[in-house]
Amino acid sequence: MNKDLNYVGKTFPIHDAPLKVRGETIYVSDLTLPNMVYAKLLLSSIAHGVIIKIDTSKAEALPGVIKVFTYLNTTSKPYSRYRIVPDQAFCTEDECLFTETVRFVGDRIAAVVATSLEIATTAISLISVDYETLPVLSSPEEALQANQTIIHPEGNLIHQFENQVGEKAPFHEDCLIVKTSTSTQKVHHAAMETHVCMADYNSSETLTIWAACQGVFGVRTIVADLLGLSYNKVRVIKMPMGGSFGGKQEAVVEPITAFLAKEVRRPVKLILSREDSIIATMTRPATYTTISTTVSRDGILQDCNVDNVVDAGAYASSSVDNAQAMSHKICKLYRIPYYKHRSKVVYTNTPVAGGARGWGAPEIMTALEIHMDAVAKKLNMDLVEFRLKNLVHPYDLDKASHISLGNARVIECIEQGAAAFGWNERCKRKPTNGRYRRGVGFACGAHKNGMYGGFPEHSTMTLKMNEDGSCIINTGLHELGCGTITSIKQIAAEVLDIDLSYITIIEADTENGPYDFGTYGSRVTYICGACVYELAERAKEKLLECAARILQKPKQSLKAEDGNVLVVGSELVGVSQLDEHHKLSYREIVTTAKVKDNVDIVITHTYHGTSNPGSYAVHFAEVEVDSVTGMVKITDYLAAHDIGKAINPGMVEGQIQGAVQNGIGYALYEEIRIGKDGKIMNSSFKNYHLVNAPDMPIIKTLLIEQGGDDGPFGAKSVGEIAFVPVAAAVINAVNNALGTSLSELPLLPEKIVAALKSRKLSDLEIMEDKGEHCAN
């Protein structure tokens, strides 16, 4: 554990809070360039069909319209919106800017570029499209069974695989086999800012893109290759953004905006409406998971078999990679001698699935933790005791990745969390009777720290010391609104021992900044934070070297402290440490180095990730269920997290609280509802329901800070793992309250009422089930 830290472990506000409070933050939608024009998209109103005729004449005749684009006058070159680097594996290039064959409600049919957004919107309504409709495959089951209808020429099955680790032992008669099935739904990311982009193609044939995205270099490789431009002719600038949650990880609007700007040779701004963002960008994937485990009667897991189907929607995007990631999660959490995972990734005529907070972990962990409750109940064993028998231990080897799990502290999370939540006492309470029924539940979750082990993992940054001792750090970071820049400042400030106000962090810009893969994969604190830590260490070493020359003292006798370099040790015998001749400020060192020694303190460093430990969380929930209406209220919640070291505790708590709110919606309310005809039934916030602040309980947090891994000061990720166990904890609590085995997300009130009616549960049966499943 690190002690006597000045900046790390303290709470500081987000770096641009004053600008946001005063309304001074400039988002992409606020940008204006001379001669700028506006784009508006025409999206398909049907889920599957071929365009027979498209008439754009009325739109083109409208004053102020510059040009109308369709598949007839644009490139038909396919691309993958998910690609991060050239020649990336699992990137199916199946999407075009505009399509002749529409594959979901929201597919891009046309774009109008006009002198105002109002004119562009009017022009869109004047475009006439005739379709030959095709059968709609609205679920993976339908798509896999269809023989005559194919969504893409290669077929409806995008990819399938089977992974297995360990040796399967013969079935022993002293074992039980438990099987459960769980389904999760497509949800909207619901960031405050919708998708927006601006691009300009100038007379020097250089394309500049202003993007609210999570990876500028990924956007550059997609756009440059699609438009046939060399990379030095494409500049992508990361702009402030109003949230993402993974929804802006992939290049959804950037390729189309860039193309339009190149064609009309004027700055083009594209702003999607909320409805456009819900139906036409991307969603969290829907999944269907069956888990079967063999367990000994004393509660030791023997094997685990998973069958998983991922609904990719109309285009492959990141779904194959996402499915692969799901197959690597379970072994991060439980010790299982034999694990087998089979998966199918399937096209459907529904909105495109893509990256979302947790990157596959919430889907598979929800299914797993609902299943683990079922196993413990079958054994008539306490839920906590059963988990403790099987959870991973510190420095176990992840069987799926063959990488150490590091200082995994999930056992401390469950033990300390259960004690703080009063788990045993709540389980022993007399079950509530009557209309309102209370129950408790919990779930464990595991996630990663970066991409090492499955993808190259490194980050590059440059630190420049200014003449007054302040510094500017040029990075490839993308602040998403969660405090990344502040945390990185704290790490640098701690190493250099200077105030945060003396540090400026520059975000990603492909032309002027160093390379970084992007802000996703729970890699920022663990990888980028480690990069800035080592970068600051090297800068400090350079300061000491320069001070040694100035003071004519050996470097070993010098110490950096509070923005100064001091002479310490035997060199100070008989001399006061405060003697001006034996102390130099950073300002004096940097200025003297420049003026007298012709030395500029500019350090560029590339950090290479060499580990990927697990991040862990155990969440506890208490719910009250109205057995008449099916409404669920969360009455208490505790989140215990293995954080390693909280760089900024206030922001860590904020991340957890936001993730819990996000996860409660996932468990109980949120779903993009899709009809059999593929039409979206809730394409606005008036009927797409989110959990609001008045519906939230107080979220208590418990941070387990044991360090021991390669992150800066031992820190690990929190932004994604905080979402992973939420849905399962809530669903397990509902099932505990009602004695049900519900596992189809979201648990809408009508599902709860239908389950109670179909089983005709009496209050006595509920009480008996509750006592049997919860208590020791």
Question: Amino acid identity, residue 344?
Answer: K
Dist. CA 550–CA 582, nearest whole Å = 10
Q: What is the DSSP letter of 170?
A: P
The reply to whether 31-134+195-271 and 360-449+612-774 are identical in fold is: no
Query: Over 70: is that where the pLDDT of 764 sits?
Result: no
Widest CA span in the chain: 94
What's the whole-number mean pLDDT along residues 217-231? 98
Instruction: Order the strands of the 49-55 sheet from edge to edge.
Output: 101-102, 49-55, 128-133
Tell me the pairing of strands 615-626 and 436-447. Answer: antiparallel
What SS3 state is found at 186? coil
Dist. CA 386–CA 378, nearest whole Å = 11
Dist. CA 234–CA 201, nearest whole Å = 9
Give tens-digit pLDDT for 79-122.
999 999 998 888 999 999 999 999 999 999 999 999 999 999 99
Dist. CA 333–CA 324, nearest whole Å = 17
End-to-end CA distance of the chain: 36
The pLDDT, as a whole number, for residue 578 is 44
Fold topology of 17-22+453-608: Aldehyde Oxidoreductase; domain 4 (3.30.365)
The pLDDT, as a whole number, for residue 774 is 53
Q: What is the DSSP letter of 744?
A: B
In angstroms, what is the C-alpha Rg of the chain? 28
What is the token pair recorded at 719? 């932004």
The more confidently predicted of residues 229 and 758 is 229
Give yes or no for a contact between 196 and 269, defined as CB atoms under 8 angstroms apart.
yes
Q: What CATH superfamily classification does 31-134+195-271 receive?
A: Aldehyde oxidase/xanthine dehydrogenase, a/b hammerhead (3.90.1170.50)
Give me the residue label for tokens 């970068």.
535
**Nearest 5°: CA angle at 766, between 761 and 767?**
150
Quick one: 217 exposed, middle or buried, by C-beta within 10 A (0-12, 13-18, 19+)? buried
Query: Over 90: is that where the pLDDT of 770 sits?
Result: no
Residues 6+ apart with CB under 8 A from 694: none
The pLDDT confidence band at residue 171, using thresholds 50, 70 and 90, is confident
Give yes or no for a contact between 284 and 356, defined as CB atoms under 8 angstroms apart.
yes
What angle, rounded to 10 degrees, do the helices at 361-379 and 726-738 form? 30
The pLDDT confidence band at residue 459, using thresholds 50, 70 and 90, is very high
Give bridge partners of residue 270 from the DSSP assignment.
39, 197
Give yes or no for a contact between 234 and 265, defined as CB atoms under 8 angstroms apart.
no
Dist. CA 344–CA 310, nearest whole Å = 6
What SS3 state is found at 463? strand
- 632-637 long-range contacts (CB < 8 A, ≥24 apart) are 632/668, 632/730, 632/734, 632/747, 632/749, 632/752, 633/695, 634/664, 634/695, 634/696, 634/697, 634/730, 635/438, 635/697, 636/421, 636/697, 636/698, 636/700, 637/697, 637/698, 637/699, 637/700
Query: Over 90: is that where the pLDDT of 530 sits?
Result: yes
The pLDDT confidence band at residue 5, using thresholds 50, 70 and 90, is very high
Dist. CA 231–CA 612, nearest whole Å = 31
What is the token pair recorded at 625? 């269920």
Question: Amino acid identity, residue 770?
Answer: K
Query: Over 90: is that where the pLDDT of 763 sits?
Result: no
Dist. CA 724–CA 270, nearest whole Å = 33
Residues 6+ apart with CB under 8 A from 285: 184, 186, 310, 311, 312, 313, 319, 322, 353, 354, 356, 363
What's the whole-number mean pLDDT along residues 410-438? 92
What's the whole-number mean pLDDT along residues 691-702? 95
Give bridge partners of residue 160 from the DSSP assignment.
344
Give tens-digit pLDDT for 555-611.
999 999 999 999 986 555 444 444 555 799 999 999 999 999 999 999 999 999 999
Omega before residue 170 within 30° of 0, cis: no
Q: Where are the domains of the chain?
A: 17-22+453-608, 31-134+195-271, 360-449+612-774
What is the token pair recorded at 12? 């500081």
- The secondary structure of 102-155 as a DSSP string is E-STT-EEEEEEESSHHHHHHHHHT-EEEEEE-----SHHHHHH-SS--SSTT-
CATH of domain 360-449+612-774: 3.30.365.10
Quick one: 338 exposed, middle or buried, by C-beta within 10 A (0-12, 13-18, 19+)? middle
| Distance, CA of 127 to chain centre | 37
Element (H, E) at 754: helix 749-759
Tell which residue, 247, 212, 106, has the closest CA to residue 662.
247
pLDDT-above-70 percentage for the chain: 96
- The secondary structure of 678-740 as a DSSP string is S-BS--STTTS----GGGPPPEEEEEE----SSSGGG----TTTTTTTHHHHHHHHHHHHHT-
Q: Which pTM was predicted?
A: 0.94
Dist. CA 530–CA 715, nearest whole Å = 9
Give bridge partners of residue 347 from the DSSP assignment.
313
What does pLDDT average to over the chain?
94
Compute the Cα dihedral for 683, 250, 724, 304 and give only its sign: positive
Dist. CA 552–CA 567, nearest whole Å = 11
- 761-764 long-range contacts (CB < 8 A, ≥24 apart) are 763/433, 763/434
Dist. CA 40–CA 352, nearest whole Å = 20
Beta-strand ranges (E) seen in 154-258 are 157-166, 175-184, 196-201, 207-211, 234-238
**Nearest 5°: CA angle at 649, between 644 and 655?**
90
Dist. CA 470–CA 232, nearest whole Å = 31
Give me the residue label for tokens 């405090």.
483
Give tens-digit pLDDT for 179-192.
999 999 999 999 99
User: Rounded to the nearest 5°, which phi and psi values hold at 319?
Assistant: -65, -35
Alpha-carbon distances of 115 from 118, 120, 125, 269, 756, rounded to whole Å: 9, 8, 16, 10, 58
What's the whole-number mean pLDDT along residues 44-56? 98
Dist. CA 709–CA 641, nearest whole Å = 15
Give tens-digit pLDDT for 651-690.
999 999 999 999 999 999 999 999 999 999 999 999 999 9
What SS3 state is found at 68? strand
| Distance, CA of 488 to chain centre | 19
pLDDT-above-90 percentage for the chain: 91
User: Rounded to the nearest 5°, which phi and psi values hold at 167?
Assistant: -115, 130
